[in-house]
Copies of this chain bind each other. A is one copy, B any other.
Amino acid sequence: MSKQADLTVLGQDAACCAPMVREPLGEVDAAELSRMFKALADPIRLRLLSLIASHEGGEACVCDLIGPFDVSQPTISHHLKVLREAGLVGSERRGTWVYYWVLPEALAKLSALLQTPAVPAKASA
């Protein structure tokens, strides 16, 4: 934690940002990317992320994030930690409340990776 610290650092390595349709992923890139996708691989975390991202001001207090779900507060806290450790969100305590915001560069990286350059080649069959 300790404020946002390495917010914009984000290992902009190289290879792992181009569409995967271009060239095979290396083992290292695949490992790092799979950690990010793993963070997205849960319905609650997906909804948390979209809730944070679409919240006014681009950030949300944890107290705003507990209500919409049927799980306990510690569970939400756990999911937020997963998102944070995957580099998808940042967080900061401001007085009584803790705020979370999305790190757009991380999402953009994944989005670019999944981009498909052209249109279907097989869909007709």
Residues of chain A whose beta carbon lies under 8 Å from any beta carbon of chain B:
3-4, 7-8, 20-25, 27, 30-31, 33-34, 37-38, 40-47, 49-51, 53-54, 58-59, 68, 90, 101-105, 107-108, 110-116, 118-123, 125
Nearest CB in chain B: distance from A10 CB, A: 10
User: Within the oligomer, what is the number of copies of this chain?
Assistant: 2
Nearest CB in chain B: distance from A38 CB, A: 4
Assembly CA distance A8 to B34 (angstroms): 26
Assembly CA distance A22 to B85 (angstroms): 23
B residues in contact with A123, CB < 8 Å: 7-8, 105
Nearest CB in chain B: distance from A5 CB, A: 10
Question: Is the CB–CB distance between A43 and B22 below 8 Å?
Answer: no
Question: Is the CB–CB distance between A114 and B107 below 8 Å?
Answer: yes
Nearest CB in chain B: distance from A121 CB, A: 5
Residue of B nearest to A112 (CB): B111
Query: Which residue from B41, B51, B102 sits with its C-beta under 8 Å from A37?
Result: B41
Assembly CA distance A105 to B120 (angstroms): 7
Assembly CA distance A9 to B108 (angstroms): 27
